[in-house]
Amino acid sequence: MKLEHRKEFFRRLQAIDPEPTTELEYQSTFELLIAVILSAQATDVGVNLATRRLFRRANTPEDILALGIDTLKDYIRTIGLFNSKAANIIKTCKILMEAHSSKVPSDRTELEALPGVGRKTANVVLNTAFGQPTLAVDTHIFRVANRTGLALGKTPLIIERKLLKSIPAAYLQNAHHWLILHGRYVCKARTPNCPECIVRDLCRTGKKRVN
């Protein structure tokens, strides 16, 4: 996609959603971290239902450790892979308390050293909580990037690196959320809503779908 088209692509997304953010519910950086860990292979809706109950009871590393792993599992039982996620959360809380004074670090290496935190989770926290221009390439961003022609690649890491280079600097901070929301509600996997898409004339496949 040409530079002028990339600028127009994000200008339009910005026009309809000037201040995009995650659909995960949180009140602190720690709550965001826990919600993102839980969101792997789960929906934001499902995570929010669980964390609304959990965070009323425990929303600090100390509080969650006090719950114990069995009680934590009861709170997140409706979420996929809850057993392994509970174990990772308990381990992460211990590390945060012992190594980071119960604060979530803003350094990528330190974040990725936490159990249950991979590159994608770290990118969400760095972008949403700390305002860093990162991209967490989930299935939505991967699909939108390849389908539209913003970036072509066979792995999330390739797409991430290409997007960081190709997205105009003025839009990079919020691009993560715009692309996820566009993929979730418009550029859907099985039934993309191309006729209603505001960037279809800039998309390498959208134009073909509506012609």
| Other C-beta atoms lying within 10 Å of the C-beta of residue 204 | 14
Q: Which of 120, 162, 201, 208 is catalytic?
A: 120
Euclidean distance between CA atoms 163 and 179, whole angstroms: 11
CB 1 within 8 A of CB 161: no
Euclidean distance between CA atoms 107 and 68, whole angstroms: 28
Euclidean distance between CA atoms 116 and 124, whole angstroms: 13
Active site residue 138: yes
Q: Which of 7, 17, 91, 138 is catalytic?
A: 138
CB 7 within 8 A of CB 168: yes
| Other C-beta atoms lying within 10 Å of the C-beta of residue 133 | 15
Which of 189, 21, 149, 185 is closest to 197 using CA atoms?
185
Residue 102 φ/ψ, nearest 5 degrees: 70, 15
Active site residue 207: no
Which residue numbers are catalytic? 120, 138
